[in-house]
A and B are shown apart, each in its own frame.
Chain A
Amino acid sequence: MASTSAPAPITPHGRAKLIALGRATKPIREASGMARFMFWTGVGITLFFVALAIFAPLLSRYNFTQYASGGHRFPQLGHPSSAHWMGTTVQSSDVMSRVVYGAQTELEVVAIALAMSLSVGVPLGLISGYFGGILDRALVLLMDALFAFPYLLIAIVIAFVLATSSIGGGILTAAIAITAAYVPLYFRVVRNHVISVREEPYVDAARALGARPRTVIRKYVFFNVVQNVPPIATLNAADAILLLASLGFLGYGIQPSQGAEWGYDVSRAVSDAASGIWWTGLFPGLAIVLLVTGLTLLGEGLNETLNPVLRQRRFGRFEFDEREPREEALLDQ
């Protein structure tokens, strides 16, 4: 239906949105020096992997589970050659195909996990911070306890319990495990910010005018708080790739038949390394490092360009809480 109708005229409201978009992207366009370099390098690397993921079937010559072609079985642990640019594994599968298809798995799982942790952590943080009271106390206690715990262990335990029960391993299991590890982070960031926004005059004004809590949160609090999320979410995506690879390395990620996963491939390669075989581990490992570096650069570039206000505020108005190095590491730089 939308395709047949004429392009919608830009309404005043639409124009306001466009202007807002222009204003929002202005810092990125005006960024310079290190921030600019980090941002655009990060964008480049990330887009490269997105392209790999989308065009995996076109880019790779074989499927990630394939171990033979045209009736010929691939060599076992074959050196990189013209037929297999990155060599082959013990199971005779093509390393390059597994690396290319791996981009699909990593990005898919991390996208699902991020969407889930945002949709749980952000609303909980908003409600908890805005309403306060006993619910807030209880949630803060719970989230602080989880936050102090090594998140790799949280993810391992969840993945272990899910994989052992009837649900079994797979993309969703991995995503849920990663989600559980990151919800406390979003909860804390959002809640702490809501606490300070809640007392702003414009929020008081809205309340005084008789707006319901739902409206106040949606119209006044949410958009002020959500600005902090993109840099955090990007850095978090980098972290989530590492977490997924670590789960895969320990055997709790994606089942080998479901998708190619770099961490799992590196775990298989540890025994190869003892006999000097480098190509089975090097390429999937480099893929992890490159994608995580890309996302980190993107996140930090975003942070530096978007958050000068936030940074000044942190020094000036907010009390610097030294007990939050993870958030600190994510927000500062």
Chain B
Amino acid sequence: MTGTSLRTYLITRLALVVPMVLILLTLVFLLMRVAPGNPIQAALGGHVPESVVKPIEHRLGFDKPLLTQYGDYLWDILRGNFGTTITDNRPLSQIIQQNGAATLELTFFAMLIAIVVGVAIGLVAGRYRDTWLDVGGRMFGIVVYATPPFFLGLLAQLVFGVWLGWLPTSDQASPLTQALLKTHTNILFVDAIWDGNWGALWDVTQHLILPATTLGLITAGVFVRLVRVNVIRTMRDDYIEAARARGIAERRVVFSHAFKNALVPVITVVGLNLALLLGGAVLTETTFNWPGIGHELVLYLENRDYAGVQGIIVVFALVVVAVSVIVDFINAYVDPRIRY
């Protein structure tokens, strides 16, 4: 019985993805193509003779009617072809594989730090509501939220990189490691473990600490707020009262009853914060010269490479939509009330 309703829910949810993706793709197309100015001239840096521009225009299909371009664009994306950049002629699939892996490494560890720090502080603040622990926790949440990732990154570079000299402040690994480490997954952290290359793993970890902590702490602010509110909300619930009435020790009431239930929505929040995290990743990668996909985006923006910018934005859009679907699936599975 639940099987059918879960399946119905999943199918409905997937059907809703199509218009959402279509809208996002259309918006990106409209912004990029209909905007005034010649993108190829812009990418090549101003006044370039027609003889140079024409072949590129032809290669990118910019000489076709707009509607045909739109059709081609959607068809290409459907086939998994996100295009090729104008300035350095790099296929987007390569950017996704190489730079996407670096972004995945950074965001994964950042999310880990955010969850551990955010949930711990949020639980304590909510449990000890209106005490100095709560005030401290909330102030931490607010100040961390108010700090732009690039500023926290700059401070971290100054203190731990320059003054104390403990950690490297840029790149994903030292040049030697990058040259010697064999590529399996493009995620350097995984590649180092794959080969059992502990020296490389140490080097990669050192490079990872500052960027991941910067992005993680900034994201933790959101978790503090939400976990705190959830704890307060669950502590008010009837079943907490009931548990207390049955004489269950307060410690157990808090840990097994309140905290567990307060943490259920965290799954959703983790997924939805991916959007926030991706925005933060663009800034963190730029600050730490981390060769991720956000770093590439900023480069293509600087070079006015429309194809590069468009491709990366489309990838971001698809990732965001995919994650929101996965989150909904997990939620529907965990909480039957959602799949009405």
Contact = CB atoms under 8 A, between A and B. Distances in A.
B142 A145 contact: no
Interface string B114-151: 00000000000000001000110010001101111011
Contacts of A161: 31-32, 35
Contacts of A325: 222, 226, 268-269, 272-273
Contact of A150 (B226, B268, B320): B320
Q: Which 3 A-B pairs have the closest CB atoms?
A: A152-B279, A292-B146, A285-B151
Interface string A224-253: 000000000000001000100110011110
Interface stretch (A67-75, A128-136, A293-301): A293-301
Nearest to A147: B275
Given A164-B42, A273-B158, 12 more contacts: A148-B320, A152-B279, A152-B280, A156-B297, A157-B313, A246-B283, A267-B150, A274-B161, A278-B158, A285-B151, A315-B233, A322-B331
A252 to B, nearest CB: 8
Nearest to B275: A150
Contact of B304 (A164, A263, A274): A164
Contacts of B265: 322
A145 B148 contact: no
Given A288-B148, A293-B143, A332-B225, A266 B154 contact: yes
Contacts of A108: none
Interface in B24-55: 24, 27-28, 31-32, 35-37, 39, 42
Interface residues of A, number: 59
Given A151-B279, A165-B35, A157 B287 contact: no
B34 to A, nearest CB: 9
Contacts of B32: 161
A250 B279 contact: no
Contacts, number: 169
B169 A274 contact: yes
B316 A150 contact: yes
Contacts of A292: 145-147
A310 B267 CA distance: 26
B301 A160 contact: yes
B304 A246 contact: no
A300 to B, nearest CB: 7
Interface string A133-167: 00000000110111011111100111011001110
A266 B162 contact: no
A164 B150 contact: no
A285 B148 contact: yes
B6 interface: no
A200 interface: no
A54 interface: no
B20 A33 contact: no
B143 A289 contact: yes
B88 interface: no
Interface in A273-305: 273-276, 278, 281-282, 285, 288-290, 292-293, 296-297, 300
Interface in B162-192: 162-163, 169
A153 B226 CA distance: 24
A328 interface: yes
A34 interface: yes
Contact of A33 (B35, B130, B276): B130
B317 interface: yes
Identify which of B147, B157, B280 gathers the most chain A CB atoms within 10 Å of its CB. Answer: B147
Interface residues of B, number: 66
B157 A274 contact: yes
A153 B161 CA distance: 29
B14 interface: no
Given A273-B157, A325-B273, A145 B226 contact: no
Contacts of A83: none
B308 to A, nearest CB: 11
Given A141-B23, A148-B20, A270 B148 contact: no
A82 interface: no
Given A141-B23, A149-B317, A161-B32, A274 B142 contact: no
A149 B135 contact: no
A44 to B, nearest CB: 15
Contact of A300 (B142, B226, B272, B283): B142
B309 A160 contact: yes
A270 B143 contact: no
Contacts of A329: 222, 225-226
A255 to B, nearest CB: 15
Contacts of A251: 301-302
Contacts of B162: 273-276
A300 B143 CA distance: 13
B72 to A, nearest CB: 21
5 contacts: A157-B309, A164-B35, A166-B37, A250-B282, A315-B233
A156 B301 contact: yes
A270 B154 CA distance: 6
B301 A250 contact: yes
A166 B143 CA distance: 39
A333 interface: yes
A149 B163 contact: no
